[in-house]
Structure 1
Amino acid sequence: MIERNANNKRTAITIVNYGFYQDFDVKEEQQKDSKRTTEEQQKDSIGTAEEHKQECKNERMKEYKDANASIHRPGDIRQIMEAWNELERYGIKPVCKLNRGSQRLQNLTARIREYGETEVLRAIENVKRSDFLQGKTDGRWQITFDWFVKPNNFPKVLEGQYEESRSLQKATVRNNNNFERRRYDMDDLESKLLGR
């Protein structure tokens, strides 16, 4: 690789095939630069993809928070719970608490999101006008909060399908032994029995 020519005054060192090695070093540097550029481009594209992914995630979180901001206000939930607990005087069990992350709370927030707080309160009012939901017609079943907030049940209560006026228009209610249940005007019956 190296030739050495020496005499008394000087020594000359010559690199054999200098051009070849010089050209090789240049090609090697170009390849390194090319490789660095490709790696940097990949890092940039990965970085850009990661940044884009994070931006999308942040945007979805913001949309979720915005969509649920009005639903998760403690006042809304508290007002609905208070309205439900007023049904206790109709014999319906009150709600003690709504745990965060519970199915009960998820169903309630879904109904609020779907129908609005006003409609949920209106549906609770409809329970007051239904002997069936209060358990007065059969005595074996009565509405619960968990049943009320389920997606298939809530619209029926909201539409008033269980209200007394509608149930009277339907077929006569029968009890366990399949006898027709009679409805008496108790004041009129009392006056007849007492001979007034």
Structure 2
Amino acid sequence: MKFKLYDYENDRSTDIELTPSQWKELQAFLKELKNPPAHDYKAVLDCFNRICSKLPPATRLTDKRRRAIIKAQKDGYDLEQVFRTAAQSAFLCGRNDRKWRASFDWIMQPGNLVKVAEGQYSDSVPAPAPSAPPMSGNPFDNYG
């Protein structure tokens, strides 16, 4: 099947030949562009509310929240894992000096999302100090 392709950079059209399988693949691609896959926004909110039960619930699905969910999924975030990480953070759950708690909208902000996903708000347990062998009275005894 012949197909006309317009080259905007060089301001000209080019005829290309497509096999039937290439034509079907192109049609499927164009259909997907026209009708992008549906995002299950409600499932994301339900997941947040189930996992982050100590945070304020997200009940309304606003356009801002839809856009944030699309962007996070497009950027490759595993939102369920992000919510689990947030739920395990004492700071994000309100155990801080101001009793402040993170919200769905706060977590979904791009700058905060990356920090939560990378564990920057995770509770840290101080690592035990490395134990060094006691030094002898002569500092040169410790070498060789």
Which of 73, 76, 80 is equivalent to 1:115? Answer: 76
Deviations 1:96-117 (A, max 9, x none): 1213xx222111110011114x
Matched, 1:158 2:117: yes
Matched, 1:104 2:65: yes
**Alpha-carbon RMSD:** 2.5
Q: Where has structure 1 moved over 3 Å in runs of 4 or more?
A: 61-66
Matched, 1:85 2:49: yes
Matched, 1:148 2:107: yes
Question: What amino acid does structure 1 have at the position aligned with 2:56?
Answer: K
2: CA distance, partners of 1:63 / 1:87: 32
Alignment of 1:1-196 (within 5 A): 62=31, 64-65=33-34, 68-69=36-37, 72-74=38-40, 77-87=41-51, 89-90=53-54, 92-99=55-62, 102-116=63-77, 119-165=78-124, 168-169=125-126
1: CA distance, partners of 2:52 / 2:82: 16
Q: Give how far 1:88 is off.
A: 5.3
Q: Which runs of 5+ in 2 are unaligned?
A: 1-29, 127-144
Q: Is the 8 A contact 2:68 2:108 kept in 1?
A: yes
1: CA distance, partners of 2:49 / 2:59: 9
- Aligned residue pairs total 99
Change (3 A) 1:115 1:88: closer
TM-score, length of structure 2 as denominator length: 0.58
1: CA distance, partners of 2:45 / 2:65: 12
Greater share of helix: 1
Q: Is the 8 A contact 1:132 1:138 kept in 2?
A: no
TM-score, length of structure 1 as denominator length: 0.44
Higher RCO (Cα < 8 Å, 6 or more apart): 2
Deviations 1:54-86 (A, max 9, x none): xxxxxxx856446x41xx333xx2222112112
2: CA distance, partners of 1:73 / 1:103: 14
Partner of 1:111, secondary structure, is helix
2: CA distance, partners of 1:155 / 1:103: 18
Q: Give how far 1:87 is off.
A: 4.3
Change (3 A) 1:62 1:78: same
Q: Which one has a bigger Cα radius of gyration?
A: 1
